[in-house]
Amino acid sequence: MYQRSDRKNERRIFTMNIPNKNELTRIYGEAEKSAARFQAVADHFAEIYHHDIAEFFTAPGRTEIIGNHTDHNGGRVIAGSIDMDTIGAAYPNNSSVIRITSEGYDKEVVVDINDLASVPKAQGTVSLVAGMVEAIQKFGFKVAGFDAYVTTNVIRAAGVSSSASFEMLVCSIINYFFNDGAMTYINYAKAGQYAENVYWLKASGLMDQLACAVGGPILLDFSDRENPKYEKVNFSFHDYDHHLVIVNTGKGHADLSEEYSEIPMEMKEAAKAAGAELLCETTLDKVLANMDKIDNDRAILRAIHFFKENERVERAAKAVEEKDGETLLKLLSESGKSSWELLQNCYPIKAYTEQKISVALALTDLFLEKLGKGICRIHGGGFAGVIMCVVPEEETENYVSYISEFAGKENVYPMNIRAVGAVHIEK
């Protein structure tokens, strides 16, 4: 494989070996289309940075399967990586400077590891990279300069964690080149969280990062805030003859920051009434026994959602273990109804005329009612954005066609859960 490029009127040829077909098949289930993606990445990398060698990396997006808004209060979640990913070609440049070019963006990200203090906060990708570098160094790992060209097919602003996918890709690059694989997925996730909290000024947990890093369906437990636990679970919706479809309903016009932050705050309000900091540290009975100390009725409803959702996650994990698809889908449906009725994150109260999530769910319910099979639920943070539908395989095309009439074909994404997380790919 090669790339020709012109530099100072000099024609040069760069030899570039892309990942082998066996590895691509293991990750993607095929090799032809994925090989073409990596060849394009290799070509751009050689053209821009003039290396004649590269290493290749991938990090997927993620889907939340069940466990809506429980992670921030020490709850449990089943999440999974998806077959949309961020990929990159990279190689050390023997300097202290990280240089990253992303397809579709004119501005190169440039971060001097020795001058992180000069990087402004909340300035997009450059802030994110600087934050990860700082975190990784704080954790006692090494970082040095490298060049990278990255591209992604993880849809942005659609609740499938395009940012976390990029973060985990950068972590996998740093781990491979400079740390001999010593960094753990927990290290990856905490580096991404640190970057978002400190450099993006965005409150975020670890669910997105861990799901993207680990790969496959995973059961996450956040009851130990410093040391979250995860374990892989073995299932695919195809095991139950169903297909996962994500529908992006579009971003609302309202500023949703307050709506998002009120959920963990109100859950903590209920926990405080029961003598705890987080809901995972108390029980539903104790919260209900102290309802008179809670002035906010919605906080009570959201606390009930937390406890019942946690129970559903445990039951869902058991259903997966027992290959009980009927129970699993029933629990996912109950989760969606609880989010709608108790958690109340399907639309912003301050902009109640914007209810695209609710409309998409109602329209999907109409479709599924006729089948007598399948489920739908809100996906991710809520208030605007994305729903998930788990539809019988034989009806996938019909559902895509149906919901596309309302959401637009470009906003409907049939997808699969992939087994592989953020990794270096062998050539």
Nearest-5° angle of CA 93, CA 97, CA 102?
85
> What does the pLDDT look like over 393-412, one tens digit per residue?
999 999 999 999 999 999 99
Q: What's the average model confidence in pLDDT over 128-132?
A: 97
Q: What is the pLDDT of residues 87-99, one digit of tens each?
A: 999 999 999 999 9
Query: Which of residues 3 and 323 earns the better pLDDT score?
Result: 323
* Cα–Cα distance measured from residue 65 to residue 240, given in angstroms and rounded to the nearest whole number: 15
CB atoms within 10 A of CB 1: 13
Q: Label residue 367 by pLDDT band (50, 70, 90).
A: very high
Write down the pTM of the prediction: 0.89
**Structure confidence at residue 105 as a pLDDT band (50, 70, 90):** confident
282-287: long-range contacts, CB 8 A cutoff, minimum separation 24: 283/307, 284/308
Answer whether residue 3 shows pLDDT above 50.
no
Q: Which range is least confidently modeled, 38-52, 190-204, 364-378?
A: 190-204
pLDDT value at 225 more than 90: no
- Alpha helices (runs of H) in 120-256, residue ranges in sequence order: 125-138, 162-178, 185-194, 207-214
Classify the C-alpha dihedral 352-387-420-221 as positive or negative: positive
Kind and range of the H or E run holding 363: helix 356-371
The tokens of 230 are what?
A: 């995860």
pLDDT(7) > 70: no
> Which phi and psi (to 5°) does residue 136 adopt?
-60, -40
Q: What is the mean pLDDT of residues 182-209?
A: 91
CA dihedral 162, 67, 70, 367 (to 10 degrees): 80
Name the nearest CA neighbour of 417 among 27, 32, 75: 27
Give the pLDDT mean for 55-64.
95
Interval 284-305 mean pLDDT = 97
If you average pLDDT over residues 197-210, what whole number do you get? Answer: 86
Burial of 358 (0-12, 13-18, 19+ CB in 10 A): middle
Report whether 205 contacts 172 (CB < 8 A): no
pLDDT computed for residue 402 by the predictor: 98
Sorting pLDDT into bands at 50, 70 and 90, what band is 157?
low
Task: Mention every residue, 6+ apart, whose C-beta is less than 8 A from residue 36.
Answer: none
- pLDDT, the chain, mean: 92
**SS3 state of residue 424:** strand
Asked whether residue 10 carries a pLDDT value surpassing 60, the answer given is no
**What pLDDT does 191 receive?**
97
81, amino acid identity: S
Q: How far apart are CA 220 and CA 17, in angstroms?
A: 37
pLDDT, one tens digit per residue, over 250-281 is: 876 667 878 888 999 999 999 999 999 999 99
Rounded-to-integer distance, Cα 65 and Cα 39, Å: 33
Nearest to 136 by CA among 173, 90, 84, 85: 173
Nearby residues of 178 by Cβ (< 8 Å), 6 or more positions away: 92, 141, 142, 143, 144
Residue-wise pLDDT for 228-256, tens only, equals 999 999 999 999 999 999 999 987 666 78
Return the pLDDT at 158: 61
> Of 97, 169, 100, 172, nearest to 141 (Cα)?
172
Asked if the model's pLDDT at residue 156 lies above 80, the reply is no
Residues 6+ apart with CB under 8 A from 101: 44, 48, 49, 108, 109, 148, 149, 150
Judge contact between 6 and 414, C-beta under 8 A.
Answer: no
For the chain, which domains are there? 2-234+419-425 (3.30.230.10)
The alpha carbon of 243 is separated from its chain's Cα centroid by a whole number of angstroms, namely 19
Q: What percent of the chain has pLDDT over 90?
A: 83
H helix or E strand, kind and range, residue 284: helix 284-289
| Three-state DSSP class for residue 126 | helix
